[in-house]
């Protein structure tokens, strides 16, 4: 069994019965089920959703994205072994804790396989809900150049790199390109303030002003749940990104839920507590891979400069990284997943074959 075969690099070609084109992002692919299959599963499995709710199969890959590019390694290894299963296991764990502590549900209805979720369609809030407990990364780079205002929040002078902030800061950005919102540039990932949200509630996808308060509460509470749990294994929750959306339950009531993934090494920074106390930063997140790429190529400006994006795409396409670079991130992802969940992350011998079998045998969804 070759390592390349154990990596699920292509996840948009599964023979799942669907009536719409497969939507494939950087890491996940979404297969929208037919209305007949959606209604059948809702009835058969008793999902607490509206009877006509559209359902989808969401398949996570092992692809590794950094600086908005997909990277590969020698030996035609086109992803990180165990990465998809590790990310799903971590999200599943946190979603379970959220539900147990009465925060909010997620869009996940079933978990047929370590790489697969069955989800209900949600109407997304067009906000990347970012919160930060430490000053590092892009915020530190801007702060070190003299910037003091972030998303309407003014930071004091005298902060040091990687130090803990005086409070948890909510620093949202736009999700996708939003048009016609006063004071908000028409571009992805634009920083926005609470005032922007309050003045353009519907344009950002919120049902009401009250739901802005609800989103902030769920963001802070979710961060707190994960931060406390990580502290128990001597890990520091530095910053993260959540996503939210609206769904209807079986009674037709609309509610705000968590979407996508939460608290993973892809969407968060997680630092080792012991190393931090000794003055070092040991990343248990994708940040270590980003640093590897910046050090690996002789001209790191290609990775950082948006005006050189075509060069960056070519760099990722034409350069097979050392296999050890992907194995290192594999150890990071599976290692932190096993610490968080207390369960081993097993590599599938044939991930695509396993997914097809379970969706055929247990769900009747293979065409």
What CATH fold (topology level) applies to the domain 3-122+340-361? Phosphorylase Kinase; domain 1 (3.30.200)
Contact 212, 198 (CB under 8 A): yes
Q: Has residue 94 got a pLDDT over 70?
A: yes
Report which of 327, 320, 225, 239 is spatially closest to residue 283, judged by C-alpha positions. 239
**Would residue 257 be called left, alpha or beta, if left means φ above 0 and alpha means ψ between -120 and 50 degrees?**
beta
What is the location of CATH 3.30.200.20 in the chain? 3-122+340-361
Q: What is the mean pLDDT of residues 153-169?
A: 96
As to burial, measured by CB atoms within 10 angstroms (0-12 exposed, 13-18 middle, 19+ buried), residue 194 is middle
What is the location of CATH 3.30.470 in the chain? 123-225+242-261
Q: What is the pLDDT of residue 1?
A: 52
pLDDT in tens, 17-33: 999 999 998 899 999 99
Given CATH 3.30.470, say whether it is the number of domain 123-225+242-261. yes
User: Residue 165 phi/psi, 5° resolution?
Assistant: -80, 160
Which residues, at least 6 apart from 335, have a Cβ–Cβ distance to it below 8 Å? 284
C-alpha pair distances (Å), 27 with each of 11, 170, 174, 337, 341:
9, 25, 20, 18, 22
320 DSSP assignment: P
pTM over the 0.85 mark: yes
Give the Cα separation of 3 and 105 in Å (integer).
36
Q: Has residue 250 got a pLDDT over 80?
A: yes
Q: What is the pLDDT of residue 321?
A: 97
Q: What is the mean pLDDT of residues 317-323?
A: 96
Q: What is the pLDDT of residue 251?
A: 87
């Amino acid at each position: 069994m070759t390592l390349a075969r154990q990596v699920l690099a292509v996840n948009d070609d599964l023979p799942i019965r669907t009536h719409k084109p497969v939507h494939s992002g950087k890491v996940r692919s979404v297969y929208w089920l037919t209305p007949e299959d959606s209604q059948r599963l809702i009835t058969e499995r008793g999902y607490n959703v509206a009877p006509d709710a559209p359902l989808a199969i969401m398949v996570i890959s092992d692809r590794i994205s950094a600086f908005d590019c997909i990277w590969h390694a020698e030996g035609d290894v086109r992803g990180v072994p165990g990465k998809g299963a590790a990310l799903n296991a971590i999200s599943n764990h946190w979603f379970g804790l959220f539900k147990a502590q009465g925060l909010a549900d997620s869009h996940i209805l079933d978990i047929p396989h370590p790489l697969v979720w069955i989800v209900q369609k949600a109407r997304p809030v067009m906000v990347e809900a970012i919160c930060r407990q430490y000053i590092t990364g892009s915020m530190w780079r801007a702060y070190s150049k003299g910037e003091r205002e972030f998303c309407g929040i003014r930071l004091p002078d005298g902060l040091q790199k990687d130090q803990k902030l005086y409070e948890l800061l909510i620093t949202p950005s736009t999700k996708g390109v939003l048009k016609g919102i006063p004071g908000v540039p028409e571009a992805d990932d634009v920083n926005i303030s609470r005032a922007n949200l309050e003045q353009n509630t519907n344009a950002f996808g919120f049902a009401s002003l009250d739901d802005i308060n609800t989103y902030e509460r769920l963001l802070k509470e979710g961060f707190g749940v994960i931060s406390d749990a990580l502290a128990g294994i001597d890990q520091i929750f530095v910053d993260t990104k959540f996503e939210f959306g609206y769904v209807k339950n079986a009674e037709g009531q609309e509610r705000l839920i968590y979407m996508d993934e939460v608290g993973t090494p892809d969407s968060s920074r997680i630092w080792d507590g012991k190393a931090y106390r000794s003055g070092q930063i040991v990343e248990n997140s994708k940040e270590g891979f980003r640093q590897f790429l910046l050090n690996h190529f002789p001209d790191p400006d290609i990775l950082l400069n948006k005006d050189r994006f075509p060069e960056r795409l070519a760099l990722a396409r034409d350069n097979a990284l050392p296999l050890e670079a992907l194995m290192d991130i594999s150890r990071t992802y599976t290692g932190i997943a096993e610490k968080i969940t207390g369960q081993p992350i097993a590599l599938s011998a044939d991930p695509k074959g396993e997914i097809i079998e379970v969706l055929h045998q247990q769900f009747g969804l293979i065409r």
